[in-house]
Structure 1
Amino acid sequence: MNLLLKRLPSTARLAPSYRALAIPTYSRFLSTHATQSACDPDEPHFLQSVEMYYDDAARLSNVNPGTLGHIKAVDSLLRVTFPIETSDGKTDIIEGYRAQHSRHRLPVKGGIRFSDEVDLQEVEALAALMTFKCAVVDVPFGGAKGGIKIDPKKYTTEQLERITRRYTMELCQKKFIGPGVDVPAPDVGTGPREMSWIMDTYRQFNASDVNAAGCVTGKPIAQGGVRGRNEATGLGVFYGIREFLKYPEIQKKTGLKGTVDGVSVVVQGFGNVGYFAAKFFENNGAKVIGVGERDCSIYDPKGLDVEALFQFRKDNGTFRGYSASATIIDEPAKILEVECDILIPAALERQIGLRNVDKIKAKLIGEAANGPITPGAHRKLEARGIPVIPDLLLNAGGVTVSYFEWLKNLSHVRFGRMNKKWDELSKTKLVSLVEESAGRSLTEAERKQIVHGAEEADLIYSGLEDTMHEACKETRTTANLKNIDYRTAAFVNAIQKIATVYEGTGMIFMT
């Protein structure tokens, strides 16, 4: 059974006010305690929050209302269902979704998550965020998102492969996947393994497509992936917060000295993003004093060993028993209320709401997760002088490096392969001239360190760092120019960039 919701005709979709939605708003079918406990009953859900943030920025963007309505509406939605036989001989009906929010640039880009919380509203909200996220960091993609409504822990590897491949078949048949159309990536509950299954399935349906590897990103290196992708989002979080700490206005508000060294950090969520964010902060001199997870949180004001803690939880499935000097917090969300310099929510949406916002003691908040702060809580934080670095800017490292992987797949050559030895030869000649002039020869170790040519990971890190630097600078400039918060500034920049593309093409059939 398939339900394909296509975009309405332009004449019907465009309304006098950009607040008019082109499609109905779907209620969230399931809500966990983890995404509700911090929020009052009347606080907006995830999709509504994204729309509210968008509306606030739209009023300041100086963009035509018709264009604003066009940008806000979701282009296309796909819902599919299919059966899967379980180990006990029963049949489960699997639901899958894919939302393409904006095709102002192609392909559209967005992850695929496996979670029993997935529904149409969630993928709509995440697809919209992806559109704005790509625009903020100047990645030339539109936004998309997808998911399969399952708990992956309840299925065997063989069953997960069949589910993934069947879902991919549906995407292929409906033209919702392809290197120039729609390029998925990993998300919650998925990883390189699932991306390999997706790529292989796409190839079976498109055997003559020489660019088939570019139909999905986040693949293993052996399958066309790119070095640096696993840590990309967490590294982007580190780069972004490090950039903001350099700004005088941030130093004035927070009292921080402007460098990462010595700051105390609390991370909620110890998955891929939270782990790597914590690891990069620790490696650069910060002290990670708290980490939160589903069953409990752990706190030690003296600092935690991130790698040792990660391995302990991997082996034992919990933080309990890790260290006698650390405090276990039985109510996981309480880690958000610990006094610290930098708080990084890297778990779920709606973690800071009106119920707990007044208890937040951090000096700076960096949103590594999507939508962890509700609009009401965000306003309270800003009123208290606690800067918030928004998700659509801070966690864009993943899509940035996915863009690099897509480029690698289309060019069919590893980054650095063409110029690494040339760079080393040039540096060797320069070092020889310096040695001759100085009358001193470098040791072999010194020489290797200086003349070393850039590997693929070096180039990926460099590209990500430059991307985050420029995006942070643009966001800061707009915030200071319009005297607005960083979230609104990032949305304003994204809206204006997307509007420029739409209006530059004439928006065919609009009139």
Structure 2
Amino acid sequence: MPDNSFLESVGQYFDAAAPHTGLPEGLLKQIKVCNSVYQIYFPVKIDGEVRVIEAYRAQHSHHRSPTKGGIRYSNHVNQEEVVALATLMSYKCAIVDVPFGGAKGGVRINPWEYSEADLEKITRRYTTELIRRKFIGPAIDVPAPDYGTGPREMAWIYDTYRSFHPEDINAAGCVTGKPVSQNGVRGRSEATGRGVFYGIREACNEKELMDQLGLSVGIEGKTMVVQGLGNVGSHTATISQDEGGVKIIGVSEVEGAIYNPDGMDIHDVMRHRAEHGTILTYPGAEAFDKEDRRAVLEFECDILVPAALENQIDEHNAGNVKAKLIAEAANGPVTAAGAAILAERGIVVLPDIYLNAGGVTVSYFEWLKNLSHMRFGRLQKRFDEQNYRRIVEQIETTTGKEISDRDRRMIIHGADEIDLVRSGLEETMILGFQGIYSLYREKPEIKDLRTAAFALAISKISNDYISLGIWP
């Protein structure tokens, strides 16, 4: 099977899962196609010169409203990529029961070639174009950060939308991933990486799956290699190390890769890169330069986390992968041809349409916060703390023993916003994995978790089409 484009790989995954759903061909076709794509060209004056910027917004499915998906700034943005990412968003939201249709946006620029002022011009003009065509709004389509964008760009989008709709009291819900000071939610920046950790942990707790891979149950002590130390990769690595007891033995970035089978402190690695501008001089590790940076995908390890861009593991290097479990933190890091080879070799892949759903899950929490105009925890935190304090005091009176100040603080702590966000994300990722793994075990004809995930997503979306009367 030769490698195809990202969109074609997504289509192949869909086609592999469709027969396991028992749905009619017409309904499957409706679920598969992208409903609408908006291609935009707009002028922006930069350094006294007018440049025409190419941009897109795709809305794959309207079985739920609003649609939801990030906006990426990259020289590689094109219509096919945006449609593929919007398609994955539909399935991703369905798997974790987040009530959005899938969407995605992209602006074809290299953001690192522009000043902050120029990026603001581009972002506000792009937002204006979306507003004019009704491709953005808290009940229509809600963007979020993606590759090359972050809270700063989301704040510009929010401000631009609000200037066009000053009467909309829910305007803050037009975009997520905003700074906390601009109606964002605590825990959003770490959400995707933390969700990846929860997903890996849940898979590692499944004895049957670990027996299949020849690994012990539990995440603690397992070796991990991470490709890409951006937002997702860095949070996945730090949380896996700090909360899961994972040993990080390899990482890569744009300048190359490093490997140390004895393990590395990921915080120390990131500090070294911040100070020296590279990971290649990190002491005690074997270095691979820029030309060999994809060697990170072939390092010996238990868990490989591709957290960079799509199409990283393909028919050319899948046969060299030595990891036992691949956790797709990025979108589409394994091509359909590469996935087939990995499956033949018995390597388990935790698919992107489930594993990196932490971002959209916490974006959903932010959207709910914006619509409710209420910070999470505001109503119950103090009430809970007072109740817990009374319980502790009653225990001390009854037993005649005094609880330490440290334990007292821990017991009476009421849930803050970030506690509730993390708890909701953890529950979502656990239930998402259980749904996929249950289907995988129930249907022996389904040979991998990706096919099970796609089949589950397709079935959930079809239920919406039928129950809402969208499908005749």
Report TM bin, short chain. Answer: over 0.9
Q: Which residue in 1 is equivalent to 2:187?
A: 228
Q: Which residue pairs with 1:190 in the alignment?
A: 149
CA contact (8 A) 2:56 2:107 kept: yes
Q: 1:374 aligns with which of 321, 331, 335?
A: 335
Once residues 162 and 315 of structure 1 are traced to their aligned partners in structure 2, the CA distance between those partners, rounded to angstroms, is 32
Structure 1 range deviating more: 483-492 or 463-472? 483-492
Residue matched to 1:391: 352
The residue number in structure 2 matching 1:486 is 449
CA distance in 1, matches of 2:338, 2:113: 35
Match status 1:239 vs 2:198: yes
Task: Provide the aligned length of Structure 1 versus Structure 2.
Answer: 467
1:356 corresponds to which residue? 317
SS of alignment partner, residue 344 of structure 1: strand
SS in 1 for 2:139: coil
Tell me the equivalent position of 1:445: 406
Cα distance in 2 for partners of 1:102, 1:196 equals 26
Q: Which residue among 110, 116, 135 is the counterpart of 1:157? A: 116
Alpha-carbon distance in structure 1 between the residues aligned to 2:170 and 2:209: 45
TM-superposed CA distance for 1:443, in Å, is 2.3
SS at match of 2:20: coil
The residue correspondences of 1:111-510 to structure 2 (distance < 5 A) are 111-283=70-242, 284-323=244-283, 325-330=284-289, 331-483=292-444, 484=446, 485-507=448-470, 510=472
Any idea what the Cα deviations from partners look like across 1:233-266, whole Å, max 9, x if unmatched? 0000000010011112211122221111111000
Secondary structure of the residue that 1:140 maps to in structure 2? coil
Aligned to 1:47: 7
Question: What letter matches 1:368 in structure 2?
Answer: A
Query: After TM superposition, what 4+ stretches of structure 1 lie above 3 angstroms from structure 2?
Result: none
Distance in 2 between residues matched to 1:281 and 1:425, nearest whole Å: 34
- Partner in structure 1 of residue 25 of structure 2: 65
Is 2:224–2:248's contact at 8 Å kept on the other side of the alignment? yes
- Following superposition, the deviation at residue 91 of structure 1 comes to 2.5
Conserved in 1, the CA contact under 8 Å of 2:280 and 2:288? Answer: no
Amino acid aligned to 2:261:
P
State the one-letter code of the partner of 1:57. A
Q: Percent identity, aligned pairs only?
A: 52
AA of the residue aligned to 1:54: F
Structure 2 distance, partners of 1:259, 1:391, is 21
* Residue 110 in structure 1 maps to residue 69 in structure 2: yes
Instruction: Provide the rounded CA distance (Å) in 2 between the counterparts of 1:309 and 1:396.
Output: 27
Give, as a single letter, the amino acid of the residue that structure 2 aligns with 1:278: A
* Partner AA of 2:3 in structure 1: E
Describe the SS at the equivalent of 2:240.
Answer: helix
Q: Distance in 1 between matches of 2:255 and 2:45?
A: 31
Q: How far apart in 2 are the matches of 1:315 and 1:285?
A: 26
8 Å Cα contact 1:253/1:386 also seen in 2: no
- C-alpha distance in structure 1 between counterparts of 2:274 and 2:109, whole Å: 22
* Distance (Å, rounded) in 2 between the aligned partners of 1:163 and 1:335: 35
Displacement after TM superposition at 1:505 (Å): 2.1
Contact 1:289 1:304 in 2 (8 A): yes
How far the C-alpha of 1:314 sits from its partner, in A, is: 2.8
Offset from partner CA, 1:430-455 (integer Å, 9 cap, x none) = 11221122210112222111100001
Amino acid at match of 1:257: S
Larger deviation, residues 400-409 vs 59-68: 59-68
| Paired amino acid for 2:196 | V
Give 1:226 shift.
0.5
- Kindly state the Cα deviation for residue 353 of structure 1 after the two structures are TM-superposed: 0.7
Read off the aligned partner of 1:219 and give its amino acid letter.
Answer: K
Query: 2 CA distance for matches of 1:360 and 1:97?
Result: 35
| Cα pair 1:237 1:368 within 8 Å, conserved | yes
Q: Distance in 1 between matches of 2:433 and 2:343?
A: 18
Equivalent pair of 1:239/1:468 in contact (CA under 8 Å) = yes
Supply the distance in 1 between the matched residues of 2:354 and 2:51 (Cα, whole angstroms). 38
In 1, the alpha carbon distance for the partners of 2:44 and 2:468 equals 44
Q: Secondary structure at the match of 2:395?
A: helix
Could you tell me how far apart the structure 1 residues matched to 2:18 and 2:254 are? 36
* Mapped contact 2:205–2:219 kept (Cα < 8 A): no
- For 1:202, the aligned partner's letter is Y
Whether the 8 Å contact between 1:54 and 1:491 is mirrored in structure 2 is: yes
User: What's the TM-score, normalizing by structure 2?
Assistant: 0.97
Q: Distance in 1 between matches of 2:39 and 2:270?
A: 37
What per-residue deviation string (whole Å, max 9, x for no partner) do you get for residues 86-137 of structure 1? 22x3322101100000010000000000000001000000000000000000
Q: Cα distance, 1:312 vs. partner?
A: 2.3
User: Alignment partner of 2:346: what SS?
Assistant: coil
Query: Partners in 1 of 2:15 and 2:456 — Cα distance?
Result: 13
Residue 298 of structure 1 contacts residue 326 of structure 1 at CA under 8 Å; is this kept in 2?
Answer: yes
SS at match of 2:148: coil
Structure 1 runs not aligned, ≥5 long: 1-39
| Matching residue's letter, 2:103 | A
Give ranges in structure 2 of 5+ residues lacking alignment. Answer: none
Question: 1:91 and 1:313 mapped to 2: Cα distance?
Answer: 37
Moved more, 179-188 or 258-267: 258-267
Which secondary structure does the structure 2 equivalent of 1:266 belong to?
strand
Which residues in structure 2 correspond to 1:81-96 (within 5 Å)? Answer: 81-87=41-47, 89-96=48-55
Question: Aligned letter for 2:281?
Answer: G
Shift of 1:210: 0.1
The letter for the 1-side match of 2:451 is T
Q: Which amino acid aligns with 1:418?
A: L
In 1: Cα distance, 2:109 partner to 2:173 partner: 26
Return the alpha-carbon distance in structure 2 between the equivalents of residues 312 and 157 of structure 1. Answer: 26
State the Cα distance separating 1:66 from its structure 2 match.
1.2
Aligned partners of 2:21 and 2:459 also within 8 Å = yes
- Normalization by structure 1: what TM-score? 0.90
**SS of equivalent residue, structure 2 residue 168:** coil
